[in-house]
Amino acid sequence: MSDSEQEAAWRRVDLFHPTPEHQLLAESLREFVSREVEPQASEYDRSEAFNLPLFKKAGDLGLLGVTLPEELGGAGMDATAAVQVMEALSTSDPGFALAVLAHAILFAQNVNVNGNEQQRKQVLPRAASGEWVCGMCMTEPQVGTDVLSLRTKATRVDGDYVIDGVKTFITNGGIDDQTLGDCFVVYAATDPGKISSFLVEKGDPGFRLGQKWADKLGMRASFTAELVFDQVRIPGSRRLGEEGEGTRQMMRNLEVERLTLAAMSLGIAQRSLRVMVEYANERKSFGVPIREHGQIQRYLAEHFAAWRSARSFVYDTARQIDLFSTGQRVLADAAKLVASQMAKAAADAAIQVLGGYGYMGEYTVERLWRDAKLLEIGGGTLEAHHKNLTKDLCRNPALLD
C-alpha cells in the first residue's frame, strides 16, 4: 500500500477524521436536526405522539435506509454511519430516534441480512423511503430477558405458517391509537426450543394492534404497543432464512441494535453537556458565574471526560462491526453498558447544574434524563449485559489480551 493509500485507509477508520461520505452525512444530519427535528421535539414528547410526517422526511433524506444497498433505496453505508444517525437525532429528540432505530436497524437491517432476494426487493424500498413504518417483535408479556423461552408459536399448515401469540413493548407497533404499523420481523417458536423469524404485514387476517402503552416515562415520541397474533396465517415464503435460524439472526441483529442504542446515549450526553456549559457561563451566584464553583466544575469536567471516552469506545466498536456477520457481541454489550449509564448520569448532572430550571420542561434536560433511562432497559437490560459479558470473559480470557 502506498503512503497516500495508507493515509486514506487510516482516515476511513478514525472517528475524528471521517471519510467524505461520513462528513457529508454529518453535515446533512446537523441541518436536518436543527431545522426539522429540534422545533417539534418538546411538543411530541408532551403529546406522546409519533411524528409521521417527520419520519417521511427522514426517509427522503436517506436516514431510514442508511445501511441498505443503494439499489434498494438505501444509502449503502456502514455501522459508523448508523451510529452517526442515531447520535445526531438523539441530541435533539431521542424518542423520535428510537422510532427510526426500530425501523431502520431492528427491521430493515435485519431483513437486509437475513431475507432472500425476493423478500429484500419486496420490503426494503418501502422501508427506506418511509412509505412503511416497521418494527421488530421479540418481547412478550411473560418473556423479556429470557427471550429464548418465547411462547409465540408458528405452526406449519400446508406450506403456510399459522402464528399465534402476543408481543409487547413493540416500538412502531402502531402509528396512532387506531393504526397498526406496516410490517414486522416476528420471532416465534417453530418447534420447542427452535426459533424462526417471519415477516408479518398489516392486513394479515388475525394480526391486530393490542393496547398502546400510554403514559411512558420517556421516549414518548415513539409509539409503543402490544401486538396480537390471533391465528395469523402467512405464506411459507414470509419466513426469513431457514427454520430454526431465528436465534442466530436475533443475536446478530442485537449487536447492531446495542451499538446504535449506545450511539443514542452519546447524543443525549452531548446535548446535556451543551446545556450545562451554556448555563454555567450565564448563571451567576454569589457574584460570579457558577462555572467558578468547584462543585459545578466537577460536573462539567467529569461528564465531559466520560462522554468523550464513551464516544471513542462506541465509534471504535462501530468500526469493528461488519453488518453481515456476527462476532462483536462483547464490544456491543460493553459499549451499551457504559454509554447508557454515562448518558443518564450526564442528563442527571445537567439537571443539577441548572438547579430548579433543570427540573422544568423548557430546559430540555429533564426530557433527556427520562429518555436516557430506557437505554438501561431496552435492547438488553444492564443486568443482561453483566451476565453476557461475564460469561464471555470467563469463557475466553483472551478477550483481555
Q: 94, 135, 181, 358: which one contacts ligand FAD (CB under 6 A)?
A: 135
Applying CB under 6 A, does 381 fall inside the site for ligand FAD?
A: yes
- In 158-293, which residue ranges form alpha helices assigned H by DSSP? 246-282
| 217 or 360: CB nearest ligand FAD | 217
CB of 214 to ligand FAD, least distance (A): 12
Determine the interface stretch with ligand FAD among 163-171, 236-244, 255-263, 353-361 (rule: CB under 6 A). 163-171
Q: Give 232: exposed, middle or buried? Use CB within 10 Å, 0-12, 13-18, 19+.
A: buried
Residues with Cβ within 8 Å of residue 141, at least 6 apart in sequence: 166, 168, 226
Q: Reduce the DSSP state of residue 154 to 3 states and report it.
A: strand
Q: Reduce the DSSP state of residue 366 to 3 states and report it.
A: helix
Which is the catalytic residue, given 140, 201, 257, 376? Answer: 257
Determine the interface stretch with ligand FAD among 73-81, 117-125, 169-177, 229-237 (rule: CB under 6 A). 169-177
Applying CB under 6 A, does 387 fall inside the site for ligand FAD?
A: yes
Amino acid making up residue 348 = D
C-alpha radius of gyration, the chain, whole number: 21
Other CB atoms within a 10 A radius of the CB of residue 240 amount to 21
Query: Closest by alpha carbon to 244, among 156, 135, 167, 145?
Result: 156
Residue 171 CA to residue 181 CA, distance in Å, equals 9
Size of the site for ligand FAD (CB under 6 A): 22
Q: 64, 138, 195, 345: which one contacts ligand FAD (CB under 6 A)?
A: 138
CB of 72 to ligand FAD, least distance (A): 22
Q: 377, 389, 392, 393: which one contacts ligand FAD (CB under 6 A)?
A: 377
Amino acid making up residue 255 = E
Determine the interface stretch with ligand FAD among 17-25, 57-65, 168-176, 336-344 (rule: CB under 6 A). 168-176
Site for ligand FAD in 89-108 (CB under 6 A): 102, 106
Residue closest to ligand FAD (Cβ): 144
Q: 248 near 74, Cβ under 8 Å?
A: no
CA 51, 43, 173, 366 dihedral sign is positive
Among this protein's residues, is 38 annotated catalytic? no
Determine the interface stretch with ligand FAD among 69-77, 133-141, 155-163, 292-300 (rule: CB under 6 A). 133-141
Query: Closest by alpha carbon to 307, among 220, 372, 364?
Result: 372
CB of 96 to ligand FAD, least distance (A): 13
Residue 115 CA to residue 93 CA, distance in Å, equals 31
Q: How far is CA 279 from the centre of its chain?
A: 29
- Residue 303: phi and psi, rounded to 5, are -75, -30
| 144 or 289: CB nearest ligand FAD | 144
Applying CB under 6 A, does 136 fall inside the site for ligand FAD?
A: yes
Applying CB under 6 A, does 219 fall inside the site for ligand FAD?
A: yes
Q: 50, 132, 161, 169: which one contacts ligand FAD (CB under 6 A)?
A: 169
| 73 or 379: CB nearest ligand FAD | 379
Site for ligand FAD in 326-365 (CB under 6 A): none
Specify the residue for cell string 417521511: 56
Which sequence positions are flagged as catalytic? 257
> Which positions lie near ligand FAD, rule CB under 6 A?
102, 106, 135-139, 144-145, 169-171, 219, 224, 374, 377-379, 381, 383-384, 387
